Amino acid sequence: MKNYKSFTIKQLCFSKKHTPFYIILVLLFIILNLFFVPSLFSSGNDLFDANDTTIILIAFTLIGFLILISVLTPYWLKKKSTEMMDEDEPQPSVWDKIFSLWIPFCFYIIAQMLLLGICEKLSAPFNTPYIYILLAGIALCVLIFIWIIICAFLYLVARSVGWYYIGLLALNFAPIVISWGCYEIYNANPLMINESWNPLNFNLFVVSAALFGHPIILLLISGIIISLFIYLLRRNKNHRTINLTIISVVYKIAVIFLVSLSVAFILSNYFIGNKQIICFFVVALSLAVLLAYFTFRSSRKFLCIGTTVFAVLITSSLIFGVIPTKVQKESFVLPQKEEIESVEIFLDSIETFEVDKHFEDCIDLHKILLELFEDGYLPDETEHPYKEPECIADLWEDANFHYKLKDGKSFHREYRDLKDSAFDEFYIRLMKSDMYAYSLKKTKLDNPQMHYYYGDPDGKWCELPESCVEELLKTYCDELKKADKSAFYEGYETIRLTGVYDLSRVLYIPLSFTDTRNLAITYINQYTARY
């Protein structure tokens, strides 16, 4: 049996029908190396150095291989081998065909790694250790084998080339579209928890390629996938009509589900307002019904249609109903001051401060913001022509609260584009709070510098002793405490305090803060002369 398998794999590998495939591999090898290998012998250029070239070369190779395997797998698995052996001989198994597809890629990788190893010995600029090149080659071989198994599994459960490609595209791109749509929906609500996430993380192709940099995870996942695949093939020998039929139905329902949701998300644009939500439901459900009806033309079609529609309905309800309602309700729940260990507040990317006391101020300020949302004042994401700020608060349009609790838990609240003048009250009260004054007075900078902008766009700067920084901040906090609301609608000057590790504080000084302004000018005149 072992000899038969070896013979079969050899026949499959060297079939005349595979000549175009080998020509493509050779051309890929020649073209990529003609472009990249000369860079391995140069000390570098404006784009990348010799060692970066290796990474780019391997990346291009990997991407090309994954795409090529995706295209070849169904044709490799479905073809008969009667041209290569007598009809009375057993036909090649799925594993024979998989290994016959995998082996040529492995030879390519071996050749590529040998070439890189030669370059490593001959090229001084290229100093990547050979062991790294070897490990990269092994990881590539494992990853390509995993991808062949994934594609083979999809083809076996799809049962046709058409459904294979539809499923492969749906599994790769539908999660991207859906995740993008969810992100737009949740970002449209100021009370939702905004997270920065990359939709490509939901792409099977991209995730598979990312495993290349994590060999341990790669080996673990490969073991799981291969074990499941072996289990499927073995059960399929005795239960072909039961096993693959059920899995194939589930597969097609999943594909219809992903396609219908994706199309609905695209057609519904950004899903802001009730009309768009209704459109989403109508389009998604209608498309799911049609696709399921034309896909399943058996006695169980009503069950399949019902399952697909139910899945779309439940998912839609979660996206547009349950999750937003739950998150919005939780957004109005704030911790008790006894539970808080520290609070970090971000005002745009300009100002960040952390406090370990005066939590009452923080909670009261946060409640003011939530009350404004309840009153109908919402973020404004539209672009407006630039105009000079009427209030110092106009300089800050974002506010993020990060609470760290004593039990080790933490939660984050992020609010963007707070451009309405109603939010001025929030920022003014924040600047006049004991919490803000406390954070300013705690400021510690190594080798502090002061940049003072007063009329001159370039400003003036000087280095200050730490005692002067403390005096300046104390004076500023005292004037903030005594200031009327009208002071924040005056013109302003800016002081930026920076340290050696780029730690900084930005102070907006109303024109009526004469004590702070005079003190800053005194420091400029006194300490600038030294430099």
pLDDT digits (tens, 9 = 90+) for 326-355: 766 776 778 888 888 888 888 876 677 888
**For residue 476, pLDDT beyond 90:** yes
* Mean of pLDDT values over 147-176: 86
- When pLDDT is cut at 50, 70 and 90, the band that residue 236 belongs to is low
Same-domain status, 298 and 418: no
pLDDT tens-digit series, residues 365-402: 888 888 887 777 766 666 656 566 778 777 777 888 88
Residue 130: pLDDT band with limits 50, 70, 90: confident
In a domain, 41, yes or no: yes
pLDDT value at position 516? 92
pLDDT at 86 over 60: no
Residue 413 sits at φ, ψ, to 5 deg, of -125, 125
- Flag whether 234 is in a domain: no
What pLDDT is stored for residue 531 in this prediction?
Answer: 44
Q: Is a pLDDT exceeding 70 seen at residue 3?
A: no
pLDDT of residue 269: 61
Q: How far apart are CA 64 and CA 258, in angstroms?
A: 26
Cα 73 to Cα 7, 65, 226, 256, 303, distances in angstroms: 21, 12, 16, 22, 31
Range with top average pLDDT, 34-38, 76-80, 448-452: 448-452
pLDDT of amino acid 382: 61
| Same-domain pairing of 387 and 414 | yes
168 and 67 fall within a common domain = no
Assess if residue 370 is contained within a domain: yes
Q: Mean pLDDT, to the nearest integer, of 348-363?
A: 80
- Same domain (yes/no): 57, 12: yes
Mean pLDDT over 23-32 rounds to 84
106-134 burial: b if 16+ Cβ within 10 Å, else e? eebbeebbebbeebbeebeebebeeeebe
Q: Does the residue 225 lie in any domain?
A: no
At 473 the pLDDT is 92
* Spatial distance between the Cα atoms of 62 and 206, rounded to a whole number of angstroms: 11
For residue 394, the one-letter residue type is: D
Number of residues that this document lists for the chain = 531
Residue 21 confidence (pLDDT) above 90? no
The reply to whether 153 and 164 lie within a common domain is no
Q: Does 262 have pLDDT greater than 60?
A: yes
Average per-residue pLDDT for the chain: 78
Say if residue 248 is in the same domain as residue 391.
no
Q: How confident is the model at residue 235 (pLDDT cuts 50, 70, 90)?
A: low
Q: What does the pLDDT read at residue 477?
A: 92
Q: Is residue 525 a part of any domain in this protein?
A: yes
Instruction: Determine the pLDDT at residue 299.
Output: 54
- Supply the pLDDT for residue 502: 63
At 513 the pLDDT is 92
Helix (H, G, I), strand (E, B) or coil at 25: helix
pLDDT-based confidence at 472, cuts 50/70/90? very high
Tell me, what's the pLDDT at 474? 92
**Do residues 486 and 494 make contact, with C-beta atoms less than 8 angstroms apart?**
no
Are residues 16 and 75 located together in one domain of the fold?
A: yes
Is the C-alpha dihedral spanning 209, 210, 216, 218 positive or negative?
negative
Residue 469 lies in a domain: yes
Q: Are residues 358 and 395 in the same domain?
A: yes
pTM metric for this prediction: 0.62
Region 229-243: mean pLDDT is: 56
Domain boundary among 439, 463, 488: 439
175 and 142, same domain (yes or no): no
Q: Are residues 32 and 115 in the same domain?
A: yes
**Which one of 415, 439, 463 terminates a domain?**
439
Domain total in the chain: 4
Q: Could you tell me the two tokens for 198?
A: 């990359």
Mean pLDDT over 133-153 rounds to 85
For residue 243, name the pLDDT band (cuts at 50, 70, 90).
Answer: low
Q: Clarify whether residues 176 and 308 are in a common domain.
A: yes
User: Is 224 inside a domain boundary?
Assistant: no
What is the mean pLDDT of the segment spanning 501-526? 86
Residue 515 pLDDT exceeds 90? yes
**pLDDT(444) > 50:** yes
Q: Which residue range is the domain that position 397 belongs to? A: 339-439
Confidence of residue 80 (pLDDT cuts 50, 70, 90): low
Q: Which helix (H) or strand (E) holds 472?
A: helix 466-482
Last residue of a domain, one of 127, 142, 158: 158
Average pLDDT over residues 102-130: 85
The Cα–Cα gap between 421 and 485 comes to: 13
Backbone φ, ψ for residue 79 (5° rounding):
-70, 145
Give 449 or 282, the one with higher predicted confidence: 449
| CA distances to 36, 204, 246, 326, 432 from 365, in Å | 58, 44, 57, 23, 11
Q: Is residue 361 part of a domain?
A: yes
Closest Cα to residue 423, out of 470, 388, 380?
A: 380
pLDDT for 190 equals: 58
Confidence band for 475, pLDDT divided at 50, 70 and 90: very high
Q: Which strands, in side-by-side order, build the sheet including 351-355?
A: 351-355, 340-347, 399-405, 410-415
- In this predicted structure, the answer to whether residue 82 has a pLDDT above a threshold of 50 is no
pLDDT at residue number 1: 46
Q: Which of these ranges, 236-240, 246-250, 264-268, 483-487, has the smallest mean pLDDT?
A: 236-240
Rounded CA separation 473/361 (Å): 20
Tell me, what's the pLDDT at 29? Answer: 83
- Pair (412, 464) in one structural domain: no
Residue 81 has pLDDT above 50, yes or no: no
